Structure 1
Amino acid sequence: MRHSIKNAFAVTILLGAMCPAISFADDASDASKLYKAGQLNEALKKIDAVLSQRPKDAQMRFLKGIILTEQNKANDAIVIFTKLTDDYPELPEPYNNLAVLYASNGQYLKASTALEMAIRTNPTYGTAHENLGDVYAKLASQSYDKALQLDSGNSTAKLKLNLVKNLIGNSTGGTNPKTIAATSPIANLPASPAVVATPPKSAEPKVASSPAPTTNSKATAAVNEKDTVLNTVETWAKAWSNRDVNKYLSHYAKDFQTPKGESRAAWAEDRRSRIEGKGKINVRVEDANVSIDGNSATVKFKQFYSSDRLSSTSRKVLVLSKQDGKWLIKQERSGS
């Protein structure tokens, strides 16, 4: 049976600047290019060459799991993704891909467990939430089928089964397979600790300019408020780039909704250790779009992040609230 849940086909390749890492970085980049060109066997050879030198490299292991999946080598891919969840339990993407493989084999309970772990590591991971809904629907369909086998006159079970089948797309109780193209990097997938990446020096963080003010006073005020919000996002990114943790944290409201439900103090301490522990950070904000509703503002933008060990691009959403005349971040999530 063809599986229906989305596979996180996405890989970020780091560029090494130090001489000992040049050939390794080139091999990693070549592997990514070969994969995107559909030359899967050649890409695997490059990946194996990298892993012979850097056996713990998460990026290359993840890409290898993706290629094995595309080659219908499900068991081998499951081994890859399972080991990644063991070594990097904080990453949601390997759990998601495990769920895809389990679902394709009809192992829906295992798939649901893997997706629950993905959501536990990142509650804002929309793909995992959607996939979990599909898996639950399939499990429900199987249970209603079983109920009808035991009692063919159970009209309630028959009605529920029809509702589920209509919900998930066809008469067999499955949905058409959907995958995510390999274009969006995984924002938090770590690089090999042995590779020191030095990203090129870039300009200060920039945000999209707002529309020109009109002669209408209310419209002018609205534009000025948007400029204020965008400036807040810009200074937030700049403080992050400068590793000025105190200034960075000052952009978050006291009632900031932490991603894992932990206390704000615990979240702030974790962010401090992560930021101060980096040798270099650069954060750029581009293609920003802001909307304001009273004392609430939503900013959607493309975030370019690089540090001494990681480069990534992701869509970001910040929800800000105006408190005592100042815009502060109340929610932060990845995705559109």
Structure 2
Amino acid sequence: MSQGVLRSLARSFVNGGNRGGGGGGGGGRYVLGTFEAEFGRRPGGVSCGVIFARRMLSSSATEPAPIDKEKKQSASAEEEEEKKKNGGGAVVPSSYWGISRPKITREDGTEWPWNCFMPWETYRADLSIDLEKHHAPKTFSDKFAYRTVKLLRVPTDIFFQRRYGCRAMMLETVAAVPGMVGGMLLHLRSLRKFEHSGGWVKALLEEAENERMHLMTMVELVKPKWYERLLVLSVQGVFFNAYFVLYLLSPKLAHRVVGYLEEEAIHSYTEYLKDINSGAIENIPAPAIAIDYWRLPKDATLKDVITVIRADEAHHRDVNHFASDIHFQGRKLKDSPAPLGYH
């Protein structure tokens, strides 16, 4: 509609009572007259302006265009298909504000089943890593860290004894804390001081994520009882806060404690493997999540899973002793490149 018509329409409503004899209908006749002057008449005496005005002033909804109907029908069909996939339940939106995960497949073309990690985050553990390496405590802080870890092992041995599946589950709920605490504090330090971290923020968070994946795997193998879950809550609450304070006071001591904790983890998993080899623990098939995460063969067993987890723990041992040595030399972590690329 042209600007002239719009201006005429506005004037008609303002001055409508003064036209057409001062009656209320005069304004309406003037409006229709304006449209008639603009659009003319159809053959047979029907005003194009009248038809157009009635359509514009009508409050009734217009019929949707055919293309809109097709889109709605297509969307309805997709929703029905999603409902069938979800067993008839509510449809989970695949996209929100334009953000959606692309379709991810395995190398054989099958759909990737995991949301907690992606194919490019999987790896093969380094099984050639030295499992016997040990940091001999020399300084006071080293001896304090070593004896503290040995003391913490006593109640664990009493409670779990040789139930290494449950022991491993408890161990991983604790082992996933230090990397997250250290990475978080280094991240905040980097923000405060406007400095790079040397890759250590990412390295420590990768460690925390790797330990969490150990836990997700162990939960598939060992179904924790209610009192074990309660124990996890209390131990994690105490350990997180204690380690947080320790890292603030002395990162050198904090990393040394984790290094010795990982040495104990290697020992526990070695005993776990001994019980599997002796037949005391059944060598069951490996969980699907472990096969995909460590790129294990399809016929992998529990023994294979424990072997790769133990190799990961050996790597964490070396990383944390290395970090403690950097602090012991009076340097900062950012001064030495972090060991990235392997968890």
Is the pair's TM-score, using the shorter chain for normalization, greater than 0.5? Answer: no
Indicate the structure (1 or 2) with the bigger Cα radius of gyration.
Answer: 2
TM-score range, shorter chain: under 0.3
Q: Which has the higher helix share?
A: 2
TM-score by length of 1: 0.25
Q: Which has the higher strand share?
A: 1
